[in-house]
Structure 1
Amino acid sequence: MAAPKKGRRAPAGHGHPGRTLVLILVVMIGLVGGMFWYGHLTPRLGIDLAGGTSFTLAAQNQPGKPNAINETNMNTAAGIMERRVNGLGVSETEVQTQGNDHIIVNIPKGTDAKQARQQVGTTAQLGFRPVLTIAPGTKTPVPNPSKGQQGKNDQGKGDKAGGKQGSQQKVTSPSKPSASPTTQGRPVTDALKKAPSAKPTPSGSAKPSPKPSPTPPGPGAGIAKQLAALDCSTKQGRALAGQQAANAKPSDQVVACNQEGTQKYVLGPVAVEGMDVKDAKAAFDSQGGQGWIVQMDFTSDGGKKFADITGKLAAKAPPQNQFAIVLDGAVVSDPRVDQQLNGGSATISGGGFTQQSSEDLANMLSYGALPLSFHIDDETTVTAALGGEQLHAGLLAGAIGLGLVVLYLIAYYRGLSLVALASLTVSAILTYTIMTLLGPAIGFALNLPAVCGAIVAIGITADSFIVYFERIRDEIREGRTLRPAVERGWPRARRTILVSDFVSFLAAAVLFIVTVGKVKGFAFTLGLTTLLDVVVVFLFTKPLMTLLARRKFFANGHPWSGLDPKRLGAKPPLRRRRTAPTQTKEA
């Protein structure tokens, strides 16, 4: 008895093309809905298209460093400013040196110019100073430094006046948590009420030395008078205090204000310099329930200094168990210390951080250490008239090129041109919506080079369709019908498309890494559209061709389908030769 015939398997690649098309349709609807949800319906434009603000920063030497203004430090400053205001490098804020002691910063319209100005203007030296006294930001009577209770009262007033991060933050070790209970993870108010004992407890945390090295003395009468006279509630008072603190020697005691002007401080000598911070980043602590935190890593020398100062501060009562992070003479954070922190890393938490505030503090810690200070020498407004004319000319050239491509596709591929045009439309929708959403997400700004990158991508996308169409036509020339031709031509076309797009993406990635300024916009757009080309070909063009191969217009090779076997010079249909079964002769 003959064995039953097994059912033939569907050719690889058939799958469920309808589901794939529905998937990419849902993605497009989601991206368009995201545009309306966030209220951004057009891409953010660069300074050459939308105008903006341009200002010039003049470098100044720090006291005791008369030769700090040199090419190396200027390039370092420009690089730090560019990383601060540019994020991923696509927000199109341009930072470049000019001459020996100036830096030009161009901020496009739509960027928070005030925030960017503050970021590039706060690139002086960063330092960690121990807190000696905290008081409300307004003028106060001269405090008596001999009374420790006065510091506690000032601390309480400062907490009420501050209301923000300030003394609510604490610094802990992320690598080796203490074996003894800590206030980490408790509500902020509870953490502030309980001060660590002056006597070290036998716990898993490192204990300060029984005979600590000499620590900075408390504030003297002269510095106490300066503190009482300082008014941080006014902009002039904060600016004066910041200038005096920035120009002070690292070994001096200083008075300083926090950025909001709600608290003022007497700070001891610099214990850890900003140069000792190797890296800092913001992170969300989902396991510990502390929300946004800032993680710091120190150099080897910086880790030793940090362990030494935290060991001394942990044995003190508030507010002298805190250290202030000072940038440009202003206190940007003042976390408290509960234990000595070893290991060269630490975490600042418990200050009601938001994502923005934690990222800002991490930026200052990472990029705030410079041997130079800057002041704004000139500020001007840039118009977009010239860029608008160039954009108009570029879009006109792109429209003409696209029109020629469409005419060629219709003349040569006929019905298949509809598939190519539909794929180009899907690619355009994805590109436009993603560029629009990247504006508020990462600060992406569309400039003239980026527009050029999008126009070049039209050719890359059309080339992928042509490769696939030609593979299908080759199979038809070999005598196969359309449905097998669509499936057999896909693996060969897929390899060619992936190799071609990989080379384009690699070129865009290298260009993005090694270039600066507006060229990054071109490289970013080229890389983005290259990735989208792969998505469109795999999730739209191929499934659409699979569905169209089942339609009579294409399957029967209509003359206007672009797949007419006669017009393509196809061979006779391939047929399997049947061989007569051989019978074994009996002997």
Structure 2
Amino acid sequence: MLLALILALGGTMFLQKAYTPKLGLDLAGGTTVTLSPVTQNGASPPEEILDRAVNIIRDRVNGTGISDAEVAKSGDNIIISIPGVGQNEAIQLVATTAELRFRQVLAMQATQIPQELATNAPTPTASPSASATGSAKPSQSAGTPAPSASPTGKALSSALTAPTPQPSATQSDQKQDKKGQNAKATPTASPTAQASTPPAQDPNAGINTEGIDPAVLKQFQALDCTDPKKRGQGVQDDPTKQFAACDADGSAKYVLDVAKVVGTDIDTASAGIRQGTTEWIVQLDFKSKGAGEWSKLTTQAYNSQEPRNKVAVVLDGVVITAPNIISPIPGGRAEITGGFTQASATTLADQLKYGALPLKFNRSSVDTVSSTLGQDQLRGGLIAGVIGLVLVVLYCLLYYRGLGIVAVLSLVVATILTYTSVVVLGHNANFRLSLPHIIGLVVSIGITADSFIVYFERIRDEMKEGRRSLRAAVEVAWVRARRTILIADAVMFIAAIVLYFLAVGGVAGFAFAMGLTTLIDVVVVFLFTKPFIALLAKVKFFAKGHPLSGLDAERMSEAGSTTGRTTTPQEA
């Protein structure tokens, strides 16, 4: 089992071509940026606003593909640590805080959904709607989109269940015969009939491309919203340019016009129940400038055909909702309806309210950790580890002699498991080795050696009690030693878990390394150390108590021999 584990970890390394661990900020170098909030009255900002800002900035940083970037609060400040990235890139990354964009939808296309969802699709309904408070819904006329609410609160249901536009008969279902007459092509056409190559399907079939930038249209066609990693979370979209984006759940993609209204134009956003009903809605109040722009945007959308009668709300490059506009909305107040629950309405209101980061942040400090300093720290940590390992090996060989070989080999196995685990975690879970991790690994050398010492001393105790053979002593000692080893490791592992969840930064890294090596210690002792000693007990060199075995009579018994049998009065 141990060999299978080592081969699995090693095989993963070779298949992924990952032979060295990833290094953290303090070892590989990087940049740390501290953002300090600025409030009008100079007071501390509300805790919930800081939490929301941390989440938005974390999505933005992670959306760039930078692994192991840390975004955390420190008092009222937000600290962003980015390993392996230059100072200029880090500053550019956080200089522009996340902002909402309100964009008119120019084109929309449902992405492919699982077959079981398609077969159970509900009756087509319209998407969420936005309207002015207290305004009556206008009567329907030709060319005016019908307003109704979708249970999902998303502008998706009608697109998911609408039939796919088919090419006209003159393009795909008919062909010209020899007499110039039109004959409908069928799957059972005679093999001798003149074959014709059907024209390639237009990827823009059914889409009104008028006014859409060709470059953005190409991005729209290539956009894969079914892959969460490709949905563009964290993308900083240019408000002055058209934009192709995915829905938050990946079920639709959009071509969006330039942003006419942005998040800073919102005064307040709140979730509530419409008066006289039990329907949850999201209410928006715009500032004076935003109210005018919002009125123009909704009027333009209202006078457009589907899907251009929608206005998408974009946060960090992702469409969080795209309601139908059922009437122009003047006055700076709007409602978004769509069968919301209390939780979904509150979430959307928070996104609208805090998506623009109502706090202004100043970069109070930008610190760069050079890779040279990190290499010096890494070199020092490795030297400390080697010194500690050598001292433990020398002690085991001098004190336990032959048994010390078991301890040395066990440490070698533990080292192999630790190294391969760190590499695999680095390339599959974005784990980066930092200086606190190295300290934890160095300290764990002594912890691992403790388990071997407990077992060796138990064997010696059994030998001192006059047991006839080493093989019997090995088995009896193991029953007693394993309980002590498991209790000690359990206490250490619990301490590591508590420290990991209660601490932050380097202390948490130390706790993670300690917990990892504790688990490896249990694996090595149970799957290598004990079986290996049981095997050595059958070797004459150890069984007969050779002076260099560490189990000789002089060491084992104060009275004399342990390998020879003690004569009792009854036997005499």
Gaps of 5+ in 1: 1-22, 136-154, 160-166, 184-196, 207-226, 245-254, 278-301, 308-315, 347-363, 580-587
Aligned to 2:460: 473
Structure 2 residue aligned with 1:564, among 549, 552, 561? 552
Q: Which of these residues, 486, 509, 513, is aligned with residue 498 of structure 1?
A: 486
Amino acid in the other structure paired with 1:555: A
From 18, 43, 52, give the equivalent of 2:30.
Answer: 52
Q: Is the 1:124–1:372 Cα contact (8 Å) retained in structure 2?
A: no
3-state secondary structure, aligned to 1:554: helix
1:263 pairs with 2:239 = no
What SS does the corresponding residue of 2:505 show, helix, strand or coil?
A: coil
Give the match's secondary structure for 1:43: coil
Query: Distance in 2 between the 1:49 and 1:446 partners?
Result: 8
Q: How many residues align?
A: 420
| Secondary structure at the counterpart of residue 107 of structure 1 | strand
1:256-281: per-residue Cα shift (whole Å, max 9, x none)?
845699532678999x999989xxxx
Aligned to 2:202: none
Mark the CA change 1:181 to 1:568 in structure 2 (over 3 Å): closer, same or farther.
farther
Q: Name the structure 1 match of 2:408.
A: 421
Paired residues of 1:40 and 1:436 also in contact (CA < 8 A): yes
Q: Please name the residue that 1:403 is paired with.
A: 390
In the alignment, the residues of structure 1 paired with residue 434 and residue 282 of structure 2 have an alpha-carbon distance, to the nearest angstrom, of: 45
After superposition, give the CA deviation of every residue in 1:28-87 in whole Å (9 maximum; x if it has no partner). 1221222222122111112221111333545466xxx87786274685367537865689
Partner of 2:517 in structure 1?
Answer: 529
Match for residue 8 of structure 2?
A: 30
Corresponding residue for 2:105? 134
Change (3 A) 1:93 1:274: farther
**Deviates further, 459-468 or 26-35:** 26-35
| 1:271-319 CA distance string (max 9 Å, x none) | x999989xxxxxxxxxxxxxxxxxxxxxxxx993379xxxxxxxx9842
Report 1:341-420 matches (<5 A).
341=339, 370-372=357-359, 374=361, 381-420=368-407
CA distance in 2, matches of 1:232, 1:68: 47
1:534-549 → structure 2 map (5 Å cutoff)? 534-549=522-537
SS of the residue 2:418 aligns to: helix
SS of residue paired to 2:396: helix
Kindly state the Cα deviation for residue 549 of structure 1 after the two structures are TM-superposed.
Answer: 1.7
Equivalents in 2 of 1:170, 1:422: separation in Å? Answer: 55
Which residue is equivalent to 1:333? 319
Unaligned runs of 5+ in 2: 126-144, 154-209, 217-234, 247-253, 272-277, 284-303, 325-336, 345-350
For 2:280, which of 304, 312, 332 is the aligned residue? Answer: 304
In our comparison, the structure showing a higher alpha carbon Rg is 2
* Alpha-carbon separation, structure 1, partners of 2:43 and 2:504: 25
Measure the CA separation in 1 of the matches of 2:268 and 2:341. 18
For 1:304, give the aligned amino acid. W
Give the AA of the match of 1:264: D
In the TM superposition, residue 379 of structure 1 has moved relative to its aligned partner by 5.7
Give the TM-score normalised by the residue count of structure 2.
Answer: 0.58
The answer to whether 1:464 aligns with 2:451 is yes
Which deviations, in whole Å up to 9, do the C-alpha atoms of 1:187-237 show, x marking residues without a partner? Answer: xxxxxxxxxx95879x9999xxxxxxxxxxxxxxxxxxxx9899996xxxx
Q: Which residue of 1 aligns with 2:500?
A: 512
Does 2:436 correspond to 1:440? no
1:168 aligns with 2:110: yes
Whole-Å separation in 2 of the counterparts to 1:452 and 1:380: 24
The two structures have a TM-score, normalised by structure 1, of 0.57
Deviation at 1:394, TM superposition (A): 3.1
1:485 aligns with 473
Give the deviation of 1:321 after TM superposition.
8.4
Aligned to 2:431, what secondary structure does the other structure show?
A: coil
Shift of 1:539: 1.2
Is the 2:455–2:477 Cα contact (8 Å) retained in structure 1?
yes
Identical residues among aligned pairs (%): 43
Change in Cα spacing, 1:26 to 1:240, as seen in structure 2 (3 Å) is closer
Q: How does 1:83-98 map to 2 (within 5 A)?
A: 84=59, 93-95=69-71
The answer to which of 478-487 and 568-577 deviates more is 568-577
Matched with 1:108 is 83
* RMSD value, Cα: 5.4
Q: What is the alpha-carbon distance in structure 2 between the residues aligned to residue 263 and residue 168 of structure 1?
A: 15
Q: Matches of 2:525 and 2:279 in 1, distance apart?
A: 52
Corresponding residue to 1:40 among 14, 18, 24: 18
1:185-264 mapped onto 2 (5 Å cutoff):
198=146, 242=239, 257-258=243-244, 263-264=256-257
Query: C-alpha deviations, 1:474-502, integer Å up to 9, x for none?
Result: 11112221112111111211111111111
Could you say if the C-alpha distance between residues 459 and 71 of structure 1 is closer, same or farther in structure 2, counting changes exceeding 3 Å? farther
Q: Residues 266 and 121 (structure 1 numbering): CA distance in 2 closer, same or farther, change over 3 Å?
A: closer
SS for the counterpart of 1:402 is helix
Partner of 2:55: 80
- Give, in whole Å, the separation in 2 of the partners of 1:417 and 1:544: 12
Q: Secondary structure at the match of 2:33?
A: strand
CA contact (8 A) 2:28 2:83 kept: yes
| Residues 312 and 323, structure 2, Cα contact 8 Å, conserved in 1 | no
Question: Helix, strand or coil for the counterpart of 1:518?
Answer: helix
Does the 8 A contact of 1:49 with 1:391 survive in 2? yes
Using the alignment, how far apart are the partners of 2:443 and 2:268 within structure 1?
44
**Given that residues 171 and 336 in structure 1 are in contact (C-alpha distance below 8 angstroms), is that contact kept between their aligned partners in structure 2?**
no
Give the CA deviation at 1:565: 3.9
Match of 1:455 among 404, 422, 442: 442
CA contact (8 A) 1:57 1:377 kept: yes
State whether residues 512 and 520 of structure 1, in contact with CA within 8 Å, keep that contact through their aligned partners in structure 2.
Answer: yes
Distance 1:499 1:240, change over 3 A: closer
Could you tell me whether the CA contact under 8 Å between 1:321 and 1:336 is conserved in 2? no
Give 1:418 deviation, angstroms.
1.0
Counterparts in 2 of 1:476 and 1:53: CA distance versus 1, 3 Å: same
For residue 70 of structure 1, what is the aligned residue in structure 2? 45
Q: Secondary structure at the residue paired with 2:280?
A: helix
Shift of 1:391: 3.1
Q: 1:380, CA displacement in angstroms? A: 6.2
> Kindly tell me: are residues 276 and 401 of structure 1, through their superposed partners in 2, closer, same or farther at Cα, counting changes over 3 Å?
farther
CA change 1:67–1:422 in 2 (3 A) is: same
Do the aligned partners of 2:437 and 2:509 also contact (CA within 8 Å) in 1?
Answer: yes
